[in-house]
Structure 1
């Protein structure tokens, strides 16, 4: 291999070449470069048409109305807008707002909810089961009269575990409680239907779906029951929910990426599942390998594996020809054990041994076989070195 095999698709995906080509056509003077908010000339009208076409493409992947898609800079902003915006719009005088979430959510949700705790909100931090799933009865038991929002992710970014948000959403809808779902790791990896899932707010990201970084969206269900206050002000764009000049080229990129993901979803899921099984079967016979998360309720492209007697950081250093991660890219600056793995009940030692392998559109069988060879080689070498120094 001339360069490291990329197995970190959960951190980010490369932009699909067809998406990149479409973006370039919306950047320069001979393309559609205008400001979508410029309503007095053709350049603006063309840009607005491109933005609205992309809005439809994003909406179609999750079975939403295009008018329910609000452009943001990414899933992190979408999570912030949904959670902070819901609290700001729905808190009642003299009542301390209550939010329900889990200890293994993405940092964009964890840190936002922790910040709101400091602003006078109560937060219930649910602990998932050993697979990383939160059950509907857990959520129901945590509800209070002052609960205004529940925030849970559809697919965990470190484990790949899928939570039954449909059952949770149905229960919450009957109680009039807003339901926010981070679907950054689910879009393009599994079918999504916001109506069937009973979701009020859903965060989406382009760069997890072979689109560009710096652009995302928030689904906001069209209903008088769903109210959020803007967190960025200055012009009242996006129906007053998110101000700022729209980046036409990035939006076009997200729309194109989501359309491609929808068109090839079934085939891609089957191909990735086959590659996943190839990787796991290749590691059979290597003792002390553990799959973290659900065995069955998961997206196929994310695998978190633990290796007894081997720290993930040491393993990554040894796997110089593979691009993998020891957890979320948003938490990789710390040497602390993964809070997600700790959150599902693993010890510090077990959490330190977890390594995330994520497969994607451009992963090949040859790359998977090479990865298996390297993992077996390095794990065996590290264990022998540890035994020799004991």
Structure 2
């Protein structure tokens, strides 16, 4: 059976080149990178620091601004918790559309440290209301503030107006953290020109291994951040624990390869998205796209989110049986079949939530036009089955 993997926003296939460098590191670079008194440890340490330099070069930052973590969830946790504990942040501004690693962490901080949390309003189609953000910043300008807003939404693909947010943060002396996990490795990024104080990345979103990611921390803030996990002085004292050497070299290789042929990859994915939108409109004439995911200027090319015009909790499994891998939204919140993601709930009305099924398609560099054709063919089969079932029920009546 032919299969089509269209859930790249959840995780991407690992490149063969990445697997090769990781296997090599596992075989020949097994030393503890903190054991620098001998050559085995120094070789492992060299891999980490060379990877750090390479990553910094790709995102246009200083190597000292890169801190390795186990992935995006830990990275977001470290930033938010350190902002409160070490930077004495009293007030956090975020949105209801953020990833759970942000939302659940800020609520935990609110309970444990009496930090005040407010949510920026969301306008139609999931657009962050920057006027409301400005009002909230000015209202609390005397406090230490952290703004945490996602650069590209992981479910609906909306792009944040980061320059405007950065200007507002600077004018109101607020720190700016952005979850850039769907961006780094998939979209152009230059940390020297961006207004972030903190940003996060995860290797498995750009064809690298799971279990490894990094934080970008602006150099002026690094010395102010202390480790949340004690017992070592790794990662400039910010993240204790023996480093994941083979994961780090895999991340570095994946990021490097992502940016090597970047414009061609983006063009290919844009074409796939355009083709998918046009084909979906043919079989679902009144299709409703969620957020700005059908906009080529205001969303990332990799994500397309829409409502299928029937409530069917088993739709994802029916598609899977036909060889199509898609999702209803964030994989981190897909434990239950019937629960619609918090993002879709925040931007949709009750009628849509009650009568339709949200679908997220996410494209990657290994997808081809034939994958979209398989998807459309599967939807056509499902529609025909639904039609037959409807006629059977009508006949029985």
CA deviation after TM superposition for structure 1 residue 224, in Å: 4.8
- 1:1-390 residue pairs with structure 2 within 5 A? 1-2=1-2, 4-28=3-27, 31-91=28-88, 97-119=90-112, 120-143=114-137, 144=140, 145-224=142-221, 227-286=224-283, 287-294=285-292, 295=295, 296-311=297-312, 313-319=313-319, 320=321, 321-334=323-336, 335-347=338-350, 349-350=352-353, 353-382=357-386, 385=389, 389=393
Cα contact 1:100–1:147 (8 A) shared by 2: no
* Structure 2 residue runs without a partner (length 5+): none
Cα contact 2:88–2:144 (8 A) shared by 1: no
CA deviation after TM superposition for structure 1 residue 371, in Å: 1.1
CA pair 213-279 structure 1, distance change in 2 beyond 3 A? same
Cα contact 2:180–2:201 (8 A) shared by 1: yes
Tell me, what secondary structure is at the counterpart of 1:195?
coil
CA pair 307-224 structure 1, distance change in 2 beyond 3 A? closer
**TM-score when normalising by structure 1:** 0.93
CA deviation after TM superposition for structure 1 residue 43, in Å: 1.2
CA deviation after TM superposition for structure 1 residue 348, in Å: 6.2
Tell me, what secondary structure is at the counterpart of 1:90?
coil
CA pair 266-135 structure 1, distance change in 2 beyond 3 A? farther
Tell me, what secondary structure is at the counterpart of 1:196?
coil
Q: Greater CA deviation, 255-264 or 168-177?
A: 168-177
Runs of 4+ in structure 1 displaced over 6 angstroms? Answer: none
CA deviation after TM superposition for structure 1 residue 384, in Å: 5.7
**TM-score when normalising by structure 2:** 0.91
> 1:152-191 CA distances to partner (integer Å, 9 max, x unpaired)?
1111111111111222012212322111110111112211
Q: In structure 2, what is the Cα distance between the partners aligned to 1:156 and 1:226?
A: 30
RMSD: 1.9
> 1:261-291 CA distances to partner (integer Å, 9 max, x unpaired)?
1112111110001111111111222233211
CA deviation after TM superposition for structure 1 residue 236, in Å: 1.6
Q: Greater CA deviation, 184-193 or 340-349?
A: 340-349
CA deviation after TM superposition for structure 1 residue 380, in Å: 4.7
Q: Greater CA deviation, 347-356 or 163-172?
A: 347-356
Cα contact 2:65–2:222 (8 A) shared by 1: no
> 1:58-82 CA distances to partner (integer Å, 9 max, x unpaired)?
2223211111000000010000000
CA deviation after TM superposition for structure 1 residue 197, in Å: 2.0
The count of aligned residue pairs is 382
Q: Greater CA deviation, 262-271 or 343-352?
A: 343-352
Q: In structure 2, what is the Cα distance between the partners aligned to 1:333 and 1:224?
A: 37
Q: In structure 2, what is the Cα distance between the partners aligned to 1:126 and 1:383?
A: 43
Q: Greater CA deviation, 101-110 or 60-69?
A: 60-69
Q: In structure 1, what is the Cα distance between the partners aligned to 2:174 and 2:67?
A: 21
Q: In structure 1, what is the Cα distance between the partners aligned to 2:218 and 2:340?
A: 37
> 1:27-55 CA distances to partner (integer Å, 9 max, x unpaired)?
12xx2221111111111111111111211
> 1:123-144 CA distances to partner (integer Å, 9 max, x unpaired)?
1012322222314322211121
Cα contact 2:324–2:374 (8 A) shared by 1: no
